[in-house]
Amino acid sequence: MLEIVREIGAKGAGFKSLAEPWCDTTTPAGELILTVFAGVATFERKRIKERQREGIEAAKRKGIYRGGKKRFDDAAIWALADAGLGATAIAREVGAKSTSRIYRALERKPKHANGKLQMGGSRHA
């Protein structure tokens, strides 16, 4: 939001909230308060992420955290790919909302003994 307010200010206009009387960039005090609140909000968001990361790491060390639940069966995705379906068709078939999940599943596909991917595996291959 602070970026938007700064863009408005760069064009010579001010921002005045109708709901929050302190949020008024047409005055130096209002601009200061808005900047301080934005800084505190950014700091708090970073602290939340940091605490979350620390909690996940601690849970992994204890063997409690194993990531999110698996939503799609890799073997089914591999079979559809082997049958000649492309990533978009596979996503429709298994109910995935994006092809990125399909590509990640294909990248996990085991390799042949000769080291080549069975299916092409990578979208960059």
CA pseudo-torsion sign 88, 71, 95, 78: positive
C-alpha span between 46 and 31 (Å, rounded): 23
The DSSP bridge partners found for residue 111 are 117
Residue 6 has a pLDDT of: 82
10-residue mean pLDDT series, the chain (125 residues): 83 87 86 91 96 94 82 91 94 92 91 53 47
Strands in the chain per DSSP E: none
C-alpha span between 45 and 37 (Å, rounded): 12
C-alpha span between 43 and 40 (Å, rounded): 5
Residue 121 has a pLDDT of: 47
